[in-house]
Amino acid sequence: MTEPQPAGTVVIVDDDASIRQSLATLMDAAGFSTRCHESGDALLECEPPDGPACLLLDLHMPGTSGIEVQRQLCMQGYDMPVIFLTGHAEVHAAVDALKGGAADFIVKSEFRPADLVAQIRSCFDHHADTLDHKRRKADLCQCVERLTRRELEVAVLAAGGTTNHVIGMQLGISERTVEIHRGRAMKKLELRTAAELARLHDDLLEISEKH
């Protein structure tokens, strides 16, 4: 039996050891790698796992509550989806959790393991996309570092769909000069087509504004 590459890491936070154990076993069986913490504070002391991940967070725990943990993780830049588990169906807590960006809110007595596994799988996919986008954005940042200021200006405008002629008029340079800047920028950004450039428009705009 060959171990497939884990789809992601499930981080389980629950003060009840039997819950931690059973969920870990279930996630393991589903082919996920797991990490367990017995409290929110213990979780906050650790680095987030590499790769796609999902947090199964008990709402009611001794010490920091689930909602507070979610809030602090958010502040620390954690981006993994959070699924709350709770013994009670509490509307207010559920509303707070979902406002805070929770992916789901599951009442333990209505717990269906297969559904949870499916839910976690979709969380992984979502997180993977997030991570991918983050990584690409980081790569783009590095490339942009190589661009001159004028080249970045032209690239942003060009990515927005503005023609060379109009860019020249806006920047007060000739159309020919625009063409040269654009060519260099494409080369530095390792792009070949205008469509590829257009896809980076938002990210380029964001980066250019930081400069």
Partner 1 sequence: MSWAFLGLEFRWVVHSVLDSGEHSNAVPDESGLFDSLLGLSDLLVVVLDATGTIRLFNRSCETLTGYAADEMIGQSIWSSPLIPEDEKPPILRAIASVRAGASDFRHVNHWQTRAGELRLIHWRNTVLRDGNGDIHRLFATGIDATEQERAVHARDHQRRELHRLLDAFPSLVACLDRNLRVCFANHGYRDWFNLEPADQVGRHVEEIIGARAFEVLEPHFRAALDGQKSIYHGEVPYSHGGTRFIHGTYVPSRDDAGNIEGIYLLAVDITREHRLHWQLVEQVRRSKAIVDNALDGIICIDTHGRIVGFNPAAEQIFGYASREVSGKNVAILMPERTGDQHDDFIRSYFENDNNGNVVGERREVTGRHRDGTLIELLLAVTEIKDREHYFIGFLQDISQRKQAEREARYHFTNLAHVTRVGALGEVAAGLAHELSQPLTAIAANAEACLMRVAATDSTDPVLEPALRQISNQSQRAGEIIDYLRRFLRNDHSGDLETCTPGELFDRVLMLLHHEIHVSNIQVLRDIDHHVQPCTLNRVQIEQVLFNLVKNAIDALEKVGSRRELQLRCGMSSSPDAWKVSVGDNGPGMQPEHLERLFHPFFTTKSDGLGQGLPICRTIVERHGGCLEASVRPEGGMMFSFNLPLDSPNHD
Binding residues vs partner 1 (CB under 8 A): 1, 16, 18-19, 21-23, 25-26, 28-30, 85, 87-89, 91, 107-114, 117
Distance between CA atoms of residues 24 and 7, nearest Å: 14
Amino acid sitting at position 138: A
C-beta closer to partner 1: residue 113 or 183: 113
* Smallest distance, partner 1 to C-beta of residue 87, A: 4
Query: How far, in Å, CA of 127 to CA of 120, rounded?
Result: 10
Helix (H, G, I), strand (E, B) or coil at 23: helix
Shortest Å, Cβ 107 to partner 1:
7
Give min distance, CB of 39 to partner 1, in A. 16
- Kindly state the smallest distance separating residue 188's Cβ from partner 1, in Å: 49
Pick 27 or 189: Cβ nearer partner 1: 27
Residue (19 or 159) nearer to partner 1, CB? 19
Q: How many whole angstroms separate alpha carbon 117 and alpha carbon 24?
A: 11
Amino acid at 25: T
Which phi-psi region, left, alpha or beta, contains residue 56 (left: φ > 0; alpha: ψ -120 to 50)?
Answer: beta
Q: What is the dihedral angle through the alpha carbons of 88, 9, 123, 30, rounded to the nearest 10 degrees?
A: -80
Q: Give the shortest CB-38-to-partner 1 separation in angstroms.
A: 14
Alpha-carbon span 134 to 187, nearest angstrom: 22
Smaller CB separation from partner 1, 30 or 185: 30
Which residue, 108 or 188, has its beta carbon nearer to partner 1?
108
